[in-house]
Amino acid sequence: MKSPLSILYLLIPIALFIGACNNKQSSSNNNNQEDFNSDYSIADSSYKIISETWHSDYFVGRELQDSTVVKASYPKFQQQWINTLINEHFFENAEPEHLANGFILGFDEFVEDMGVENVRFPWMLSREVNIAGNLGQVLVLKNKFYEFTGGAHGNYYSQYLNIDMHNQQAIALKDLIQHGKQPTLLETAEQLFRDQEGLTANEPFGEGYFFHDGQFSLPETFHFESDALVFTYHVYAIKPYSEGETELKIPFKEIQQVLTDYALELIDTF
């Protein structure tokens, strides 16, 4: 039978080995934190701004400075689940590089079909994602989209992503409005829209607006502000291109009776 002292001699190296492993693992975790090199912090999250540019190998009119380009600027968070939401909502569920390569490939095939000497303008794709709001439990991200592939002008619009930071999920409008209360929301929204546009209660929308069958509707794009939901009509959605985007602000106090308990809980953190 081994003496207690002999057993102690055996246990000491084991303890030292385990301690070394733990220190190594701890050091590895710390290095992972440091490797991220975050520049900013918001809503208990660290992030940095990524700016990337991709060019086509083809040059328009043989001018070396004039080539098709894709630009992407977006926050990259230490929490991967936020980055996944950004890619899903703003980059067609893919990495920005994959999206850029597809756009440039489309231009390259266009050049090869038309002939380099016949292509006189470059294409452009730009997506700029910024933090638009930090409201308690809700983080609001905005994507400014621009695309030009020929014609009189490019196409642009704004997208928003409202994130519930506590539950780690995107917030949809159906999460905020009680079931069966959509007509009430729509009625209130139309009254506010008419006031904003200087229209009387019964005045037809007429040719100045593109509502289907002349019936008011809300767009899918919305975001939170500290005191309201703001809906954004994209270019061409309800007005000519020259009018740009139209925002409609609906104060929480005007629609409190149609909001879900979940919506009220979120707003209470603002």
CATH number at residue 124: 3.30.565.40
Is the same domain home to 222 and 124? no
- The three-class DSSP label of residue 209 is coil
d(CA 176, CA 179): 9
pLDDT for 153 beyond 80: yes
Is the same domain home to 195 and 114? no
Residue 32 domain-assigned (yes or no): no
| Nearest of 131, 129, 138 to residue 226 by alpha carbon | 138
Residue 23 domain-assigned (yes or no): no
Is the same domain home to 105 and 141? yes
DSSP state of 235: T
pTM of the model: 0.84
Q: Write the burial class of residue 110 (CB in 10 Å: 0-12 exposed, 13-18 middle, 19+ buried).
A: middle
Domain boundary, last residue among 170, 194, 228: 170
Encode pLDDT of 207-250 as tens digits.
889 999 999 999 999 999 999 999 999 999 999 999 999 999 99
Is the same domain home to 187 and 76? no
- The three-class DSSP label of residue 16 is helix
Residue 159 domain-assigned (yes or no): yes
d(CA 190, CA 231): 12
Domain span at 62: 40-170
Is the same domain home to 45 and 129? yes
d(CA 102, CA 59): 17
Question: Residue 109 is encoded by which pair of tokens?
Answer: 């095939």
Question: Which amino acid, 90?
Answer: F
Tell me the percentage of the chain whose pLDDT exceeds 90: 77
pLDDT for 14 beyond 70: no
Is the same domain home to 163 and 110? yes
Residue 117 domain-assigned (yes or no): yes
Residue 88 domain-assigned (yes or no): yes
Contacts 24+ apart (CB under 8 A), 247-250: 248/189, 248/192, 248/193, 248/196, 248/218, 249/192, 249/225, 250/185, 250/188, 250/189, 250/192
d(CA 144, CA 107): 22
Residue 8 domain-assigned (yes or no): no
> What residues pair up with 162 in beta bridges, in sequence order?
140
213: domain CATH number is 3.90.640.20
Instruction: Give the range among 28-32, 39-43, 114-118, 122-126 with minimum mean pLDDT.
Output: 28-32
pLDDT for 54 beyond 50: yes
- Give the model's confidence band at 36: pLDDT under 50 very low, under 70 low, under 90 confident, else very high: low
Q: Look at 21 and 224; give whichever has higher pLDDT.
A: 224
Is the same domain home to 107 and 164? yes
- Give the model's confidence band at 268: pLDDT under 50 very low, under 70 low, under 90 confident, else very high: very high
What's the confidence (pLDDT) of residue 64? 62
Is the same domain home to 50 and 126? yes
Q: Where are the alpha helices (DSSP H) in the chain?
A: 4-36, 80-90, 96-114, 182-197, 252-255, 261-268
Question: Residue 120 is encoded by which pair of tokens?
Answer: 């006189």
Phi, psi of 78, rounded to the nearest 5 degrees: -70, -30
Q: Of 44-48, 55-59, 118-122, 135-139, which one has max mean pLDDT?
A: 135-139
d(CA 60, CA 148): 14
What's the confidence (pLDDT) of residue 29? 36
The number of folded domains in the chain is: 2
Residue 47 domain-assigned (yes or no): yes
Question: Which amino acid, 107?
Answer: F
Residue 26 domain-assigned (yes or no): no
What's the confidence (pLDDT) of residue 13? 42
Domain boundary, last residue among 170, 185, 210: 170
Is the same domain home to 146 and 252? no
- Give the model's confidence band at 128: pLDDT under 50 very low, under 70 low, under 90 confident, else very high: very high
What's the confidence (pLDDT) of residue 62? 63
What's the confidence (pLDDT) of residue 152? 92
Are the C-beta atoms of residues 232 and 245 closer than 8 Å to each other?
A: yes
Alpha-carbon dihedral 111, 115, 119, 125, rounded to 10 degrees? 0
- Give the model's confidence band at 65: pLDDT under 50 very low, under 70 low, under 90 confident, else very high: low
Is the same domain home to 147 and 188? no
| Nearest of 223, 227, 260 to residue 143 by alpha carbon | 223
pLDDT for 20 beyond 50: no
Question: Which amino acid, 199?
Answer: L
Domain boundary, last residue among 170, 202, 224: 170
What's the mean per-residue pLDDT of the chain?
Answer: 88
Is the same domain home to 72 and 131? yes
Is the same domain home to 144 and 178? no
DSSP state of 95: -
d(CA 82, CA 75): 10
